[in-house]
Chains A and B, each alone.
Chain A
């Protein structure tokens, strides 16, 4: 009897000193603890929801929304469902994020390159821009630009640029393109041109690798993309017209209006993220060692070619990963739209939440949408990054 107890004590000690057994035990404890925590939350939630008389579930998405949305990319009326309202919000989020990503990349690359330029004054000025925008909360910047835009003159005294673009406290009124018969062909020619230049580019790269003969890809590609649509555009009698806004006594006739909320949000996100991108670009270019450009000059490459063929391809490897996280940050920061009333996913979700009371479901939808955007983007960027990564022997 005593013997067997000793035996079992010995075995427990043996299990404890076996790393695999110990880690299995620890993981079982972690899972148990987590399960208990989740059960605790679920039980509380059930009790609380019952006390408030609420039904969990996504059925409310079919109910009519009864609120207006002032900017909708797809058809929406106040009788549409909550679900459709959320889709409108998602599209608004994607619109401002996509626009912001493009413009922030342009501004970021320009600022990054010019900050490194040997012009002292320009470098300093860009430094001031970068440091100031980076160190002030983006929410404050969004609200700042919004209060500037809504502080513009009233519609009747709109500021005009070339009598076709008008700025006032209701936003920016721009000429609207009117697509006439035949414009579809021009667009088709453009898409075909892009596809053709992609094919030619692949062929040219392969030939360059095999024979060492370069191919003037830039000019041929530009020609393929620009010339056929342009010729078609002229041949079809220029099937594009502009609906230029005209000032009437109280408002405008024609053109289309961009709300001050969208402009303020887009501009604040652009300048804020652009400052971060410029730092990334600067670090990327500086990370390419000086020996590389000296070697290129020694081989007789001209400065432009050195930049294009030697510096940038190597800098891009350093630039891409942090650039991805900036794109994701911009997308996530677009949710600050709620502070100025731009109706994005979070802002519309908040209205839906207040009207339907389905808080858990709405917050769940937000999280799933943003998570899939983040994980999708980082998966794509990881693929792209591995595509351009240094192939080591």
Chain B
């Protein structure tokens, strides 16, 4: 009897078996991500316990036990939050003391940000080249809309307030600080010793002191430094110091971008016979600014959050509007409600901007492709 070696024919292969139930599907996921060991299980249980403590209480406070309607706090009889002020005061939170019949101008200026930003954020958009002219004109258009003149009713800047003041100061600071920051960054890398020293001194001084001390400069010292015949509105003075502050940070962000440009780019530009300004304007800065956009966005997020500091010198930004409202007998003691509302606003704005900058960083990071 001859024995032939056993081998399987290709068509009678055993069928694949399903992986063990405990290793796949929801159970497998749970085991791998939540209960993979004693420590992990403990952490999971602890986190679940913390959630169980926090979430129901929070929901009850914010929604189920809360009151939403009424004309003063006495209308709120529940044990939860009192949101009745929202309906009554939202205009003040948004526009401060801007005249009611003129608020469309604020809305329009805010809306026009979209077409102004689009060609910068999405450079492959059709018509981006033409829209860029609008981006350049936008700061002037917005200033005109907000302040008025030339036929529009003039609104003095001391009527600015609420979120609108935060957005105005933040946007003005970032737009004005960009060119100054570029000049400072170039100055810091300049071969001229005096220019370099002055740039470094400016950057280090403004980065080294808290914004709050600069706001005191705007409120108290600038009127002393300037001729007494010449007076600037407080909001304008604040924008001046905020711009100086932001341009120091901006300069460091752009310096980072400049340092990331390889030497070959400079040398190639010089070999083509370009002078300093044309080399910078045509070759180096377009590349450096592009990779600096995430940093610029982050600077803007920081600046936007810092605009709340103006309450220290008595401007009525949204935080101060909230503080004033809760000292009104009608709404006394609603501190937490207003703070939650304001923080949600800032969170939504800043979080979406930071997501955008993360997305940009990933798109610009060519090392992973």
Contact = CB atoms under 8 A, between A and B. Distances in A.
Contact of A137 (B194, B220, B346): B346
Interface in B274-325: 301, 305-306, 308-309, 311-312, 319, 323
B114 interface: no
B260 interface: no
Contact of B224 (A45, A134, A353): A45
B225 A144 contact: no
Nearest to A140: B343
A341 B212 CA distance: 14
A181 B161 CA distance: 60
Given A135-B346, A147-B336, A353-B220, A375 B305 contact: no
A353 B213 CA distance: 12
B33 A367 contact: no
B195 A27 contact: yes
Contacts of B226: 44
A252 interface: no
Contact of A335 (B208, B213, B336): B213
B210 A119 contact: no
A41 interface: yes
Given A117-B43, A363-B220, A366-B213, A151 B205 contact: no
Given A118-B40, A120-B34, A140-B343, A374 B207 contact: yes
Interface residues of A, number: 55
Interface string B85-107: 00000000000000000000000
B348 to A, nearest CB: 8
A95 interface: no
A138 B205 contact: no
A295 interface: no
B143 interface: no
Interface string A91-111: 000000000000000000000
Contact of A147 (B224, B339, B350): B339
B202 to A, nearest CB: 11
A140 B319 contact: yes
Contact of A336 (B32, B48, B205, B309): B309
Contacts of A136: 305, 343, 346-347, 350
A138 to B, nearest CB: 7
A338 B36 CA distance: 48
Contacts of A224: none
Given A27-B195, A134-B354, A359 B34 contact: no
A118 B221 contact: no
B47 interface: yes
Interface string A350-361: 100100000110
A114 B46 CA distance: 13
B1 interface: no
B213 A119 contact: no
Interface string B178-205: 0000000000000111110010000011
Interface in B3-62: 32-34, 36, 40, 43-44, 47-48, 50-51
B129 to A, nearest CB: 34
A196 interface: no
A264 B296 CA distance: 31
Contacts of A120: 33-34
Contacts of B354: 131, 134-135
A374 B206 CA distance: 11
Most chain B beta-carbon contacts within 10 A, residue among A23, A140, A336, A375: A140
A120 B29 CA distance: 10
Contact of B301 (A47, A51, A135, A336): A135
A283 to B, nearest CB: 11
A48 interface: yes
A30 B209 contact: no
A383 interface: no
B163 to A, nearest CB: 12
Contact of A359 (B193, B224, B350): B224
Nearest to B220: A359
Interface of A is mostly: helix
B364 interface: no
A367 B205 contact: yes
A144 B213 CA distance: 22
Interface in A28-58: 30-31, 34, 41, 44-45, 47-49, 51
B319 A143 contact: yes
A333 interface: yes
Contact of B339 (A34, A49, A140): A140
A333 B343 CA distance: 18
Contacts of A118: 32-33, 36, 40
B319 A346 contact: no
A21 interface: no
Contact of B208 (A122, A333, A350, A375): A375
A139 interface: yes
A370 interface: yes
A338 B210 contact: no
B351 interface: yes
A346 B195 contact: no
Nearest to B213: A366
A151 B335 contact: yes
A139 B335 contact: no
A125 interface: yes
A144 B340 CA distance: 9
A137 B308 contact: yes
Contacts of A23: 191-192
Contacts of B366: none
B46 to A, nearest CB: 8
B209 A135 contact: no
B328 interface: no
B217 interface: yes
Contacts of B227: 44, 47
A227 to B, nearest CB: 29
Given A45-B224, A370-B208, 20 more contacts: A41-B225, A48-B223, A118-B32, A118-B40, A121-B43, A122-B43, A136-B343, A136-B347, A139-B308, A144-B335, A148-B336, A151-B335, A332-B209, A336-B309, A339-B312, A346-B213, A353-B220, A360-B221, A363-B213, A367-B213
12 contacts: A30-B194, A34-B198, A47-B228, A122-B43, A136-B305, A143-B323, A144-B336, A346-B212, A359-B224, A363-B221, A370-B209, A370-B210
6 nearest A-B residue pairs (beta carbon): A135-B350, A120-B33, A374-B208, A147-B335, A332-B210, A137-B305
